[in-house]
Amino acid sequence: MYSIKYVSTVTGIGVHTLRAWERRYDIIKPVRSEKGRRTYSEEELSLLKIISELVHLGEPIGTLAKLKPSELTEKWDTLQDMKSLKGTKYERFEYSLIVLRTALSVSNKEVIVHELTTLQSEMDARNFTINNFIEDFAIPFHNHLSKADYNDPEKGSLLRLSYMLLTQLLRQGLAMSVDQFNDLGKKNPVLIGSAGTIRGEIDGLICTIRSYLQGIEAIYIGSRLSQDVITEFVANLGAEKVIITDRKSPFKQKLNVCEVFDKLNSNEFAGIQWAVLLSESQTTAWPCCVPHKANLKTYNSFESLDQFLKVS
């Protein structure tokens, strides 16, 4: 039999919380010693571990309290089965997306940090391919964050943390893509930059990794888009394509990329093919802020950019 302090230490559930759950929800009925102290059996300890993990993943304690011990165990086993699925990498990422969406909905910072740092470790261990990571996790999670940014702006600090951790993952994935790159086609590299927003940066990193996965070298320079940088890029590498990302939430219509083009108004770039990645709502207003350029195209998805990358 275990004391309440031991159970609290092992499960991470506070002593006062354990007592409150006992009174309010009648989940666990510990045996009382002669002195009135609560003692817990091995089975009760195991059940409280499961409840603690499920609450940590965002399950309401009131909902869990209505389940039988066998139902709680089955629910936990189902989550563990999802996590350990090895049949396809998509199922692994599907689990992460479920956990992260739930954690965002209940503002659980610890779960978000744990899940994204776990993915970093798995990436280091080469537990999945970069292609699967990008297509099955990074893009869907980025899209979910963007929707949450628009629909639930009061979660600002939590969303910024999620964006930051996703950016770290993408930079890690980019480093691996560069290491694995084999330039068999000898195509001129593509320059990719963002217009200074966090969404633009994540989009830029995704575009760069996808370019490498298609066998095309890409140089990502973040928001350092300037006439000098692009001039050097064109002169030294013979590059002919530049991609700028500037997607924002629908209520943020101002395009930073317009300012970029104002500063790049130079005949030196007449031979450059330009691509701008915008959201669908932004493309409707384009290119009112930039003089018409025959060699400038707009896109609103990563898939639509593929053709731009492939065409010589």
Same domain, 19 and 43: yes
Q: Whats the size of the chain, residue-wise?
A: 312
Same domain, 187 and 295: yes
Per the domain annotation, does 273 fall within a domain?
Answer: yes
Are 261 and 250 spatial neighbours (Cβ–Cβ below 8 Å)?
no
- Residue 251, pLDDT score: 46
- In percent, how much of the chain has pLDDT > 90? 15
Q: d(Cα 245, Cα 265) in Å, to the nearest integer?
A: 18
In the predicted structure, residue 80 carries a pLDDT above the cut 70: no
For the chain, how many structural domains are there in total?
3
CATH number of the domain bearing residue 31: 1.10.1660.10
Per the domain annotation, does 221 fall within a domain?
Answer: yes
Structure tokens at 73: 């165990």
Same domain, 115 and 204: no
Residue type, 39: T
Structure tokens at 275: 């691509």
Among the residue ranges 8-22, 145-159, 183-197, 281-295, the one predicted with the least confidence is 281-295
Among the residue ranges 51-65, 113-127, 210-224, the one predicted with the least confidence is 51-65
Among the residue ranges 36-50, 51-65, 210-224, the one predicted with the least confidence is 51-65
Which of 122, 143, 178 terminates a domain? The answer is: 178
Same domain, 145 and 96: yes
Secondary structure (3-state) at 166: helix
In the predicted structure, residue 224 carries a pLDDT above the cut 90: no
CATH number of the domain bearing residue 258: 3.40.50.280
More confident residue, 259 or 309: 309
What does the mean pLDDT of the chain come to? 80
- Residue 176, pLDDT score: 92
Same domain, 209 and 302: yes
Which of 123-127, 226-230, 297-301 is the most confident on average? Answer: 123-127
Which of 84-98, 161-175, 248-262 is the most confident on average? Answer: 161-175
Q: d(Cα 312, Cα 301) in Å, to the nearest integer?
A: 20
Alpha carbon separation from 212 to 88, 90, 174, 229, 234 (Å, rounded): 23, 21, 9, 21, 19
Among the residue ranges 33-37, 141-145, 159-163, 266-270, the one predicted with the least confidence is 266-270
Query: What does the pLDDT look like over 67-76, one tens digit per residue?
Result: 888 888 887 7
More confident residue, 79 or 194: 194
- Residue 282, pLDDT score: 66
Same domain, 306 and 190: yes
Per the domain annotation, does 147 fall within a domain?
Answer: yes
Same domain, 287 and 199: yes
Per the domain annotation, does 75 fall within a domain?
Answer: no
Confidence of residue 26 (pLDDT cuts 50, 70, 90): confident
Same domain, 158 and 197: no
Confidence of residue 281 (pLDDT cuts 50, 70, 90): low
Same domain, 172 and 232: no
Same domain, 189 and 171: no
Same domain, 162 and 190: no
Confidence of residue 89 (pLDDT cuts 50, 70, 90): very low
Query: What does the pLDDT look like over 232-271, one tens digit per residue?
Result: 877 777 677 888 887 765 445 556 677 777 776 666 677 7
Alpha carbon separation from 302 to 78, 135, 154, 207 (Å, rounded): 34, 10, 28, 7
Sequence-distant (6+) residues with CB within 8 A of 243 are 190, 191, 192, 193, 204, 207, 274, 275, 276, 277, 305, 308
Which alpha helices (DSSP H) does the chain contain, by range? 4-11, 15-25, 42-56, 61-64, 69-84, 89-105, 109-124, 130-133, 139-151, 156-180, 198-213, 227-237, 256-263, 280-283, 302-310
Per the domain annotation, does 229 fall within a domain?
Answer: yes
Secondary structure (3-state) at 245: strand
For 23, the domain range is: 2-65
Mode of pairing for the β-strands spanning 190-194 and 218-220: parallel
Calculate mean pLDDT across residues 211-215.
89
